[in-house]
Chain A
Amino acid sequence: MEKKDYFDLYREMVVIRRIEEHSAELYQKGKIGGFLHLYIGQEAVCSGICSVKEPQDRIITSYRDHGWAISAGIELNAVMAELLGKADGCSQGKGGSMHMADVEKNFWGGHAIVGAHIPIAAGMALGDVYLGKDDAVTICVFGDGASNIGFFHEGLNLSKVWNLPVLWVCENNQYGMGTAVDRASAVSEIRLKAEGYGMRNERIDGMDVMTVRKKAAQILDSIRKEGGPYLLEIMTYRYRGHSMGDPERYREKDEVRKWEAEDPIGIFRKYLVEKGIATEDALNSQDEEAEKIVQEAVDFAEASPEPGDETLFEHIYAEPTPIEYRGYALEKKSEGK
């Protein structure tokens, strides 16, 4: 790893944190609507994995997708504009916080039905194998909560039966909404569920980005060489609630504080300084740079136009198809009344 790569990785994690902090503020101001699920505390997972993936590797994740969108390479402007529902958003304001995508960056979404993207991920890997793209791995990310739904089991089973190149990444942040893993899952060590499908698996620490990087690189390499799926359970923690407006009655403040002491950004900072890769000053200037580009993205998003009314009826189908009903007010408008 070059020195620049360490700085880039560090800055990316800080950018994700700042984007989320700004998002929380914008949500409270009413500028972001709908549901908002923050990634704060989990940054080492997306940054670590994306720093070692190849361009042909596909990423698909759940609704807690801002960090993944950024690590996959979507421009911050497009991420922030999507959060504000603007025309310059990566999904042109049609997706919102939970549904970001940029297929040019091989980021296939933000999917908001828990676990529903798991069989889809198996299908993407099938598509790659079928079409002869033998060196691509599909990286499918989901939370601990998703491992209890049927989709998870159907998807994992299919991936093993057909020996598909999927890296299943369980971000175990220890709560499915407000329900602790051991209250919802018969086995709280999620990786053990892969054993039921004869699938290789491992559980690792997700607060240390270097651990995530190293393990992900090894596993991606082994999937590419040996084929077949692999379940990687990554232990992590979200510092904020499940979504904005979560009363957080399910955990003690002390527990959150304990994990905050294990902050992935702090751990990486310490590593960089102790290894003599960076000075505190150099990292502080990365922090400032991160804050600056995030603020620029916020400014860009605020200035971005609203999507036009005509876009309401765009993208229902890929082929030209008659639109059946436009709604009462719009019918009147089109009749000129």
Chain B
Amino acid sequence: MARMSMREAISSALWEEMERDERVFIMGEEVGVWGGTYAVTKGFYDRFGEKRVRDTPIAEAAIVGGAIGAAMTGARPIAELMTINFAFVAMDHIVNEAAKLHYMFAGQIKLPLVIRTVSGAGRQLGATHSQTPDAIFAHFPGLKVVSPGTPADAKGLLKSAIRSEDPVLFIENATLYQVKGEVPEDKDYLEPLGKSKVQREGDDVTIVAYSKMVPAALEAAERLSAEGIEAEVVDLRSLRPLDMDPVVASFKRTNRAVIVEEGWRSYGVGSEVSARIYELAFDYVDAPVKRVAQAEVPLPYNARLEQLALPQIEDIYQAAKEVLYG
């Protein structure tokens, strides 16, 4: 184990997989000479050269479409979209091509493709650069959608995504890059795609979260613990396929759940997870499932207003108390 930041964990996953497999290459805006706008690929250009660390035009359809084409020929591209807000410009290639080509041609075409991108708010970037639209992408069968909440999972899941034969949208969170944690150093350390994970055990209430909301949920759980309430925190890690087993197993013990996401509530991850809890464990429900999410506004620039719109640790704490005590 080594203590490293989320940025270092992601960077080391990319580095190791590029060293392991020459078919793997990176393409995206400012990934090369600049070193990545979030410095994730710093040093890659010098080590792997311009053939394998490819600066592209600012043209997201060309980035994702180009990566799809390269994957069709047997290369294993990692396409980087600077933020998920720009994924809308490449939406057709993500949902109409990447998610469908394998099925539409009856398995003839394989897409060993990773699209790395950055989601989330909290940096005063205004309405167009602060969205958390992860759930939209999880809507499409054929695409795998992964979003880690800890440095260890980020490394293990990204390595699995790169080794996967399927297209994976790998969603990072800019405000998590500095978060540190213990990360295995084994070059074959992999975390399975499509598996949720219990990040903290507890018997009183289930808190379901992913990405940035995982550390937030863990902190809320510590506050609850100080009051004698033990929350179980289940990290979804993948939004598609969505693994409900640990959620349902936990809920059957606690009978109470709070679902937390950074994005908007309507048609969101919490909507999906809570619907499935009711479908799969209705007899165990002791209180209505609560959803904690972003206020339904385009995010403002002003720091105070922005934070007012975003889900806070306090919100998670309060929601847990409500499902426990009404």
Contact = CB atoms under 8 A, between A and B. Distances in A.
Q: Do A and B bind each other?
A: yes
Contact of A154 (B57, B75, B105, B166): B57
Interface string A73-111: 000000000000000000111110001011100001101
A101 B110 CA distance: 13
A123 B57 contact: no
B65 A116 contact: yes
Interface in A106-158: 108-109, 111, 113, 116, 118-128, 130-131, 133, 138, 150-151, 154-155, 157-158
A276 interface: no
B109 A94 contact: no
Interface in B203-222: none
Contacts of B56: 158
Contact of B107 (A315, A321, A324): A315
B51 interface: yes
Interface size class of A (residues with CB under 8 A): 35 or more
B66 A120 contact: yes
Given A113-B92, A123-B67, A158-B59, A99 B72 contact: no
Contacts, number: 154
Given A99-B105, A319-B165, A130 B97 contact: no
A316 interface: yes
B142 interface: yes
B297 interface: no
A1 interface: no
B73 A131 contact: yes
Contacts of B92: 113, 116, 151
B245 to A, nearest CB: 10
B141 interface: yes
A94 B142 contact: no
B166 A321 contact: yes
Given A128-B73, A150-B61, A123 B166 contact: no
Q: Which of A58, A108, A138, A158 has the most CB of B within 10 A?
A: A158
B126 interface: no
A126 B56 CA distance: 12
Nearest to B96: A113
A123 B105 contact: no
Contacts of A109: 101, 104-105, 109
Contacts of B111: 318
Contacts of B77: 123
Interface string B57-77: 101011011111111111101
Interface residues of B, number: 48
Contacts of B141: 316
A273 interface: no
Nearest to A162: B54
Given A317-B144, A324-B241, A130 B102 contact: no
A134 B105 CA distance: 26
Contacts of B241: 321-322, 324
Nearest to B163: A319
A116 B75 contact: no
Contact of B65 (A119, A125, A321): A119
A123 B70 contact: yes
A244 interface: no
B271 interface: no
Contacts of B87: none
A113 B240 CA distance: 24
Contact of A157 (B57, B106, B165): B57
Nearest to B52: A130
Contacts of B23: 131
A92 B103 CA distance: 10
Interface of A: 58, 91-95, 99, 101-103, 108-109, 111, 113, 116, 118-128, 130-131, 133, 138, 150-151, 154-155, 157-158, 161-162, 314-319, 321-322, 324
19 contacts: A91-B106, A94-B103, A101-B105, A108-B109, A119-B69, A120-B69, A126-B69, A126-B75, A127-B73, A131-B74, A133-B73, A150-B61, A154-B65, A155-B66, A158-B56, A158-B59, A318-B111, A321-B166, A322-B243
Given A116-B65, A316-B142, 16 more contacts: A91-B108, A94-B106, A108-B109, A116-B61, A122-B65, A123-B65, A124-B69, A127-B72, A131-B23, A151-B92, A155-B66, A158-B57, A315-B102, A321-B166, A322-B194, A322-B241
